[in-house]
């Protein structure tokens, strides 16, 4: 166990209208109101890197704010015109960025279902980890993720954590086999029923 894993982080930061002051705010236009009566009860974990496998640039921020130069890399032609967002991005360094108020609906899950309930965007918070599906994530990212999830749980009726692969099986594979679910579960200490079944890659 690393020193970082031995830390028992609690929530850090305060909320204002769904914005978390421990995050660097980068407002995205790709968002909208949640359906009336919808409560945030699911944290949905993704992975992203632009271009795939390259880290540290500003392409993710540009994509989520509709400022990506589609001609800047051959891969971008495959996603030209895409309008997406997530509530949060956790960089490899552990830096936390927020693009959409958690009181509002970000565009991250697409066609999705969690435990029989469709349209995960309506009731989830989307958290992107800078990384490539199937590859390992950095310790600083787990540390930041635990702190963020604890803070979300303090603010919202959060009662579930899943990966994009679990709510869109066959269509999405992130965060992938490189994400350490047992590590996250152990550090949070939340009920096992809040997480995908051990070893499962497809829950709908």
Residues identified as active-site: 128
CB of 125 closer than 8 Å to CB of 40: yes
Closest CA to 75 of 87, 57, 92: 57
Q: Is 124 in contact with 103 (CB distance < 8 Å)?
A: no
Other residues' Cβ atoms within 10 Å of the Cβ of residue 8: 10
101: left (phi over 0), alpha (psi -120 to 50) or beta: beta
The SS3 of residue 121 is helix
Residue 34 DSSP one-character state: P
d(CA 192, CA 114): 16
Rounded to whole angstroms, what are the CA distances from 84 to 28, 66, 73, 188? 9, 8, 18, 29
């Amino acid at each position: 166990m690393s020193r970082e894993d031995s830390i028992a982080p609690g929530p850090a930061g305060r909320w204002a209208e769904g914005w978390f002051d421990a995050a660097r705010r980068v407002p995205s236009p790709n968002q909208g109101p949640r359906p009336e009566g919808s409560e945030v009860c699911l944290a949905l974990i993704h992975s992203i890197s632009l271009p795939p496998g390259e880290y540290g640039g500003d392409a993710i921020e540009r994509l989520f704010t509709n400022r990506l130069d589609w001609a800047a890399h051959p891969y971008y032609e495959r996603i030209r015109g895409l309008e997406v967002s997530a509530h949060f991005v956790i960089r490899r360094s552990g830096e936390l960025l927020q693009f959409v108020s958690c009181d509002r609906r970000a565009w991250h899950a697409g066609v999705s279902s969690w435990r029989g309930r469709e349209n995960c965007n309506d009731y989830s918070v989307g958290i992107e980890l800078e990384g490539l599906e199937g590859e390992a994530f950095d310790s600083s990212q787990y540390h930041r993720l635990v702190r963020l999830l604890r803070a979300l749980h303090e603010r919202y009726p959060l009662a579930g954590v899943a990966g994009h692969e679990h709510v869109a099986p066959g269509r999405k594979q992130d965060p992938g086999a490189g994400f350490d679910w047992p590590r996250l579960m152990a550090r949070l200490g939340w009920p096992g029923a809040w997480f995908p079944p051990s070893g499962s890659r497809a829950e709908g």
